[in-house]
Amino acid sequence: MRDFVVKNKSLFEQVARAHIYENKNRDKKFSQLNYKNILNDMIEFLNGYIEYKEKDTQKYTGKVVGTAKAFYDSMFDKSNTKYRKKIYLAEMKDSYTDFLQGTKDLQKLMEDNIDRANRDPEFRILMTMTNNQYRKLSKVCRDDMQIYLWLSTADTIYKYDIQPKLRADFVDDNTPVIHPVKINADDINKYGESGPDDE
């Protein structure tokens, strides 16, 4: 986790310095993973397991790994509104701040429980699954930051360019990266060009 932040330090710094003035994307809404909810729930899940083991019950014997897999898979399900949010371009910086804070908190929790993982094979599997989930999440975050820089510099001389594959992912809402929020004809008739407010 720490390696990801270090390796992408320059990208985080570019995002922090980015300014949005008059921009054609300024008033558009986008759909993005809710990093704060995801990382908070990953932390809560690990803490829940620790509390469960400290109670020394066998209530969830044989079920933890399957439950963790289903839980982590649900985070990238586009129909799960808890883990996606609709935001404006100017609000995206906060998402990356949330990601960094969540990374710090999750890293501390995992480091504090290394001894527990060495004693408890089931918890070690859970820690591995959590680390793998973080890797998936961090890749999306890196892609999102590049898309953010691309969108925020659209009307500037110094445009930030992204790879064609990432442009394709941007318009494909089956991928977990940022997408433009689609406004259908009914929304325009009901709400006007701006579309409905966040749900």
Percent of the residues in the chain that have a pLDDT greater than 90, as a whole number: 55
Residue range 71-105, pLDDT digits in tens: 999 999 888 899 999 999 989 999 999 999 999 99
Please report the pLDDT score of residue 198 as a whole number: 42
Please report the pLDDT score of residue 187 as a whole number: 44
What's the DSSP call for residue 84? E
The CA distances from residue 19 to 29, 85, 96, 151, 188, in Å, are 17, 22, 15, 11, 29
Are 145 and 15 in contact by the 8 Å Cβ rule? The answer is yes
Top pLDDT among 196 and 141 is at 141
Are 65 and 122 in contact by the 8 Å Cβ rule? The answer is yes
17-26, 50-59, 126-135: which is most confident: 126-135
Alpha-carbon radius of gyration of the chain? 19
- Sorted by sequence, the CB contacts under 8 Å of residue 136 that are 6+ apart come out as 76
Looking at the predicted structure, is the pLDDT value of residue 193 above 70? no
Please report the pLDDT score of residue 36 as a whole number: 96
Looking at the predicted structure, is the pLDDT value of residue 22 above 80? no
